């Protein structure tokens, strides 16, 4: 991660650095239903001091960068991401090289659409759960989360905007009308309302404990190939949360070293020595 150099020695340059590899690696994780690459990469993340941390994001007003994944994903895996983007109605931006060739450097697609093909015959509830699970992974990482407006409200791609401007990045830059947005949020059955409700639940849980402090610690756990598991601990070592994310569309079961924990979403104490997660289920567990 070349951008780590922007931290300097940990005291003299940037305090926050974009975690650019996170968006494409998370996308790869959900496309394959396998969290191993993401987990192994996350284990390598280091900070030069307790005065620095990462700025984590999945989506922005720009596209999903391809180059940060090079060297982590194989060329075949990167090509699979590109093909999925095109299959899901997205676009690819290319860099023109000095030798006359061109290289893909950015996938231009709304992150919801990047995860779920808008033309596929999938239940919308499954698509929402997949999207929220991806956002939960981003929120669980050490650092400060950056939440794009369109992710918070469950926007889809805006191809009409690309036609209007001629720019690929416009696909994720739709300007919403306030009244229309408010009406959709008021409809509990709408996509926007359902995404916003689930996202709000994540944010409420995250803010309820200091385990997610930007200067806390994280440990990546190996519990199941299809589960991204991360334990977050507050800077004072008192608050601990185990975050479990099923990245596939199958039910998975596994064991943990803990007997019981408090579910951050419900406040209930549950047994966690053996855990079963439904497809794309997220569990954040406060442990002692």
- Listing DSSP states for 58-103 in one string gives S--SS-EESGGGBTTB-HHHHHHHHHHHHHTT-EEEEEEPTTS-EE
pLDDT by residue, tens only, the chain of 288 residues: 566 777 877 777 788 889 999 999 999 999 999 999 999 999 999 888 888 899 999 999 999 999 999 999 999 999 999 999 999 999 999 998 888 888 999 999 999 999 999 999 999 999 999 999 999 999 999 999 999 999 999 999 999 999 999 999 999 999 999 999 999 999 999 999 999 999 999 999 999 999 999 999 999 999 999 999 999 999 999 999 999 999 999 999 999 999 999 999 999 999 999 999 999 999 999 998
Give the per-residue pLDDT at 185. Answer: 97
Q: Give the domain ranges of the chain.
A: 2-209
* Alpha carbons within 13 A on the beta-carbon side of 27: 35
Name the token pair of 126. Answer: 């499954």
Residues 6 or more apart whose CB falls under 8 angstroms from that of 190 comprise 184
Residues in the chain: 288
Give the per-residue pLDDT at 1. Answer: 55
Pick the CATH number of 2-209 from 3.20.20.140, 3.30.360.10, 2.40.10.10, 3.20.20.80: 3.20.20.80
Rounded distance, CA 138 to CA 145, Å?
Answer: 7
Nearest-CA neighbor of 257 among 278, 277, 272, 246? 272
Rounded distance, CA 7 to CA 80, Å?
Answer: 32
| The three-state (H, E, C) secondary structure of 122-186, written as one string | CCHHHHHHHHHHHHHHHHHCCCEEECCHHHHCCCCCCHHHHHHHCCHHHHHCCCCCHHHHHHHHH
Give yes or no for a contact between 186 and 193, defined as CB atoms under 8 angstroms apart: yes
Rounded distance, CA 53 to CA 77, Å?
Answer: 28
């Amino acid at each position: 991660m070349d951008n780590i150099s922007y931290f300097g020695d940990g005291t003299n340059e940037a305090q926050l650095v974009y975690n650019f590899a996170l968006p494409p690696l998370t996308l790869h994780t959900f496309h394959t239903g396998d969290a191993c690459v993401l987990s192994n990469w996350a284990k390598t993340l280091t900070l030069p001091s307790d005065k620095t941390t990462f700025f984590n994001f999945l989506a922005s007003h720009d596209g999903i960068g391809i180059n940060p994944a090079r060297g982590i994903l194989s060329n075949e895996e990167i090509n699979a991401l590109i093909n999925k983007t095109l299959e899901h109605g997205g676009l690819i931006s290319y860099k023109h090289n000095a030798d006359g060739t061109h290289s893909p450097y950015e996938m231009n697609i709304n992150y919801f659409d990047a995860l779920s093909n808008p033309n596929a015959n999938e239940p919308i509830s499954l698509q929402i759960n997949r999207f929220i699970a991806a956002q939960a992974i981003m929120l669980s990482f050490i650092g400060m989360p950056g939440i794009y407006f369109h992710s918070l409200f469950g926007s889809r791609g805006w191809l009409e905007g690309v036609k209007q401007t001629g720019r690929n990045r416009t696909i994720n830059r739709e300007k919403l009308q306030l009244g229309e947005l408010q009406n959709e949020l008021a409809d509990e059955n709408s996509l926007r309302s359902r995404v916003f409700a689930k996202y709000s639940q994540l944010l409420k849980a995250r803010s309820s404990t200091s385990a997610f402090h930007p200067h806390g610690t994280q440990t990546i756990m190996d519990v199941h190939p299809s589960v991204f598991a991360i334990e977050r601990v507050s800077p004072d070592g008192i608050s601990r949360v185990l975050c479990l994310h099923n990245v596939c569309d199958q039910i998975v079961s596994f064991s943990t070293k803990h007997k019981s924990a408090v579910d951050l979403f419900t406040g209930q104490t549950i047994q966690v020595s053996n855990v079963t997660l439904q497809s794309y289920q997220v569990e954040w567990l406060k442990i002692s």
